[in-house]
Structure formats: C-alpha cells, structure tokens
Structure 1
Amino acid sequence: MDKIIEEVVNEQLNSEVWSSGLYTAFQLYFSEQGMPMLSSWLGVQVQKKAGRIRKMAEYLLSVGGEVCLEAQSFRPEHWQNPMGALDAFFSHEQYFQQQVTDFLNWAHEVDDASLRCLAFDLYADEVQVSDFILELLQILSKGRRRMLPLE
C-alpha cells in the first residue's frame, strides 16, 4: 500500500474519532441543558461518524495498510451557556468541514479509484450544519416577524 495514502486516510480517520468525541461532549451538554432534539441529532451524527471510521479502517485493512489510532482523551466540557456551546460547535463545524473538503480534494487527485469511491461515499450526504442552522434561524425570525403587530 502507498504510504502517503495510508497516512492521509489514517489522519482523516483520526479526525473523525476526535470529532466524534467532541460531538459526544456537545450531545451530553445539550441533553443536560434540556435540549433533547439537538442532543438526539448529535447522537445520530456520532453514529454516522462511527460508520465512517469503520469504513476507513476496513479500506485500510483491505488494501494491506495499517490502522493507526492516535491516543485521544476527552473530558466533559463546561460551556458557560448554550450560546457559548453553539459558538464552539459552529467553530468545530467550520474547521471539520475544511478538513473534509481538503480530504475530498486530495482523494480526487490520487490515482486510486477505490479510494476516490470511498471518500465520496463517506461524505456524499455531508451537509454543512452551520448553513442549515442559519437557514433555520432565518425561517424562525421571518415567522416571528409575522406574529408581531403591524406598525
């Protein structure tokens, strides 16, 4: 197996592991804050990340590569309020989205059709969460304006 491919796929795999741990911290925090829908959605995202991790590991092993997991530790996060947690979440999303974009661009340039298929399969349904939530907030603010008395 090409060592550069092995290193880059392992790097992305470890990014998913790290992101999954952070999503779990967000999930627990929002659950404690009485936000069960957001917490539940984050739980689904953790499961999707677990599936991606499994697929990357299977790919590496199937082509004779090694799966190299970095030591990672997670601790409970103590955000001051839900808005602070959402700010941290958006920052993470922007950072991670750039990692995904870089990985997909790299996979597109690599002369390995099975890797390209894997990469695009992993992230085919990836939606930038910050864009989704901003659109939702726009919808809510328009709805709220309609409920205000006419001036």
Structure 2
Amino acid sequence: MMDKKIEEVVNEQLNTELWSCNLYIAFQVYFEKQELPVLALWLKNQRQKKADRIQKLTTYLLGEDAFVSIRGFEYKADKWQSPVVALNSLFEHEQYFHKQVNDFMNFARYMGDDALQALVLDLYTDEVHVSDFLVELLRMLVKEWRRQLPLE
C-alpha cells in the first residue's frame, strides 16, 4: 500500500503536468498564429514530453494500487496582446513549473522511497537543465524584444 503523502504529492504533480500541458497548447496555438513556427514546434515537443510524463505518473500510481485524482480544469486561454507578453507569460510559467519540479524531486529524496526516486529521476533529471537553459533564453529574448519595441 502506497504512503498517503506520496499518493497526494504524486497526484499533485500529475495535475500540475496536466495543467501545464493545456497551457502549452494555448501557447502553441498563439505562436502559430503569430507565425513563430520554431517556438510553436518547441511547445508542441514539450507538450508531448508532458503527455509522456502524465502517462508515467498515472502508471506509477495505478501500479501501486493508489488512487488517481485528476482535477477538472476551468481554462480560458489568455488573450496575449503581443508575442512579448506571451513570452513573458511563458517565462513565468517555466519559473513556476521549474520550482514545482524541484519541490517534487526534493520530496522524493526526503521520503526515501526507491520506486518514487527512480520515477522522479526518469521524468525530470534532464528537464531541470533544459528548464534552466530555456528560462535564460526566454529572459534574453524578452529583454531584446523590449529594446526593439517603440516606447509608449
């Protein structure tokens, strides 16, 4: 039987991945409409990684005879006024998600559950480094685009 705290935290991470995946779809569609295909493609690839993680988290819970709790989402796509505003929103999301992943990794280490630690390492070891790179790249792009925009 899975520890209730582990079950709760894994379900929370599962729901974070689901929410993030939905947000990435909205960003992808927006950037496609803005004719920024490289960014849209990157978001599509990230969305697929999230779908894979969602599957692994669900499989882990079900394999341990734990309860899978998927919350309903009320989601309204933001109407970003410009690509810079959208990039800033994406940047904020990446910072939030990066913190969630770090907290999840720290929890797994603290609990000392070998199966949970193996799952977390499988899901996020490379992602933490990619997120750091992405956050810096987005920060650089937002600063550069702000310099190119006319002052209001």
Q: Percent identity, please.
A: 49
Return the offset for 1:105.
Answer: 0.6
Q: TM-score, normalised by structure 2?
A: 0.86
Structure 1 segment 65-84 matched on structure 2, within 5 A: 65-84=66-85
2:132 pairs with 1:131: no
Q: Deviations over 1:81-110 (max 9, x none)?
A: 000000000001101100000000110111
Question: 2: distance between equivalents of 1:10 and 1:60?
Answer: 8
Return the offset for 1:73.
Answer: 2.6
Q: How many residues align?
A: 137
Tell me the SS of whatever aligns to 1:115.
helix
Aligned to 1:4: 5
Return the offset for 1:134.
Answer: 4.7
Structure 1 letter corresponding to 2:22: G
Question: 2: distance between equivalents of 1:36 and 1:86?
Answer: 14
Aligned to 1:18: 19
Q: TM-score, normalised by structure 1?
A: 0.86
Larger Rg: 1
* 1:29–1:77 Cα contact (<8 Å) kept: no
Aligned to 1:29: 30
Question: 2: distance between equivalents of 1:118 and 1:61?
Answer: 13
Q: Deviations over 1:51-92 (max 9, x none)?
A: 000000000000110110000132232100000000000001
> Which 5+ residue runs of structure 2 have no aligned equivalent?
145-152
What stretches of structure 1 move > 4 A for 4+ residues in a row?
A: none
Structure 1 letter corresponding to 2:135: S
Aligned to 2:91: 90
Return the offset for 1:124.
Answer: 1.6
Higher helix share: 2
